A and B are shown apart, each in its own frame.
Chain A
Amino acid sequence: MSAGRGGAAQGGGGEGEIDLTPMLDVVFIMLIFFIVTSSFVKEPGIDISKANAVTTNACDRGTIIFAVTATGDIYYDKKEVPLGRAFRLAEAAKKEAPKANFVIQADVDAPTSVLSELLAAIKPLMDAPLCASTNEEG
């Protein structure tokens, strides 16, 4: 700090050196914040019409997201996956982020039979109730 100030004094008016230390502090703090908060959510990447609900609340750490379309197809990470692979994908995601909870985005016309089977498949991995994604107040 004092060395920097000394350097600036010696440089006269020729080349004004700016003390970068405070900016570096801020940048590092921002960097650490973004590293810590980044959760690398794999979105299903498919447009579904969610059911409306008035009791909607935030899904706590719901970052493993499966989507079930109106035709009963399961989507994860922008790809359609068969039911048999859903468990392995869920297991891998849970291993990567042990604190993450599961979210299912179900289309209003999605058959509950598919939903039920998917839930049965990932049930052993869940340590919180499933969060069924809904629209807020519609």
Chain B
Amino acid sequence: MRKTRRNADADEAEIDLTPMLDVVFIMLIFFIVVASFLKEAGIEVNRPESNENPPETDATSISVTITGDDQIWMENRRIDIRAVRANIARLLASDPEQSFSVKTESGATAGTLLEVGDAAREAGVKQVNWPAEEKK
């Protein structure tokens, strides 16, 4: 290095890049380690604004209720989780633009909620709405 510098005179000063390289490498390793390529996957659940909540008598919306003991009720009868998709698909057939909402009572579990949401998405609803639980 010293020899080169003496040879080059003041013609073109060469900078020793080694310290900068050290710093750059350490930064590179830091960012590689910190970068967590975490890809979270899931289903989208929309919480409607309380004022734009469709009225109960709205004929053009599909509503599913999950009771406190994880029973699924639809059109005033209890249905099995495996039948949810078929039932929603049947209702959607008449009007594919219908909105869908799932209501829960306190005591229901997230697993059931997500299964119903999943079934609805599989049946073809645009958006799963989940209004706030009513306080008793």
Contact = CB atoms under 8 A, between A and B. Distances in A.
Contacts of B106: 111-113
B74 interface: no
Nearest to B106: A113
Interface string B1-15: 001100110001010
A109 B29 CA distance: 40
Interface in A1-45: 3-4, 6-7, 10-11, 14-15, 17, 20, 24, 27-28, 30-31, 34-35, 37-41, 43
Contacts of A136: 41
B110 A113 contact: no
Contact of B115 (A7, A51, A119): A51
A83 interface: no
B59 interface: no
B106 to A, nearest CB: 4
A74 interface: no
B115 A53 contact: yes
A133 B40 contact: yes
Nearest to A123: B47
Interface in B1-58: 3-4, 7-8, 12, 14, 17, 21, 24-25, 27-28, 31-32, 34-36, 38-47
Contacts of A126: 47
A115 interface: yes
Given A3-B12, A24-B21, A53-B115, A37 B43 contact: no
Given A51-B111, A51-B115, A112-B113, A59 B41 contact: yes
B132 interface: yes
B43 A17 contact: no
B34 A131 contact: no
A123 B130 CA distance: 12
A42 B114 CA distance: 24
A59 B43 CA distance: 8
